[in-house]
Amino acid sequence: RIPYLHSISMGIWVRSGSRFEHPELNGICHFIEHMLFKGTTRRSTLAIAKEIDSVGGVMNAFTSKELTSFYCKVLDENLELAVDLLTDIFINASFPDDEIEREKQVICQEIYQLEDSPEDLVHEILGIRFWKDDPLGQPILGTVETVEKLARSTMMEFKRDNYVPEETVICAAGNVDHDRFADLLERQMRHL
């Protein structure tokens, strides 16, 4: 708790990054990161964006070799909304088939853009060459070949097996009361 702030940053961190992917599933963690923002059983993609924007908040995510993180920043008065939005995308993502196909193109475009950036490409090649056959050498984005082969059922199974309480940390900083934060999370995530 930082009582003199008027904002809160909250994140859900999952120990699920590219180093934990089988080679044929390379890029699945990053793909799942994208899909969690593509609608839930309660909200459409547009509703997710509108709700966070309506309070001047920011919500985003990233994937690394070690983890995937989903986070948001809001005014302290919007803690309940932040908890509701983040837990909703984390638990209730719907993985719509049309969005999966659209996102395959988006991610392949990201891969091609990496190849157009010499400094990023050199870093990627260095990691691949240095780590050789170790999973740490796998690209976070995956490859065009692996991304195009990913199926909805595979992503849902991977999420079910890896987005589990013992691999997840949820934290907040700012003008947040710990007990209230814990109560809100318990209400949203008790079945986990």
Query: Residues with catalytic annotation?
Result: 33
Q: Taking a C-beta distance cutoff of 8 angstroms, is the pair 139, 27 a contact?
A: yes
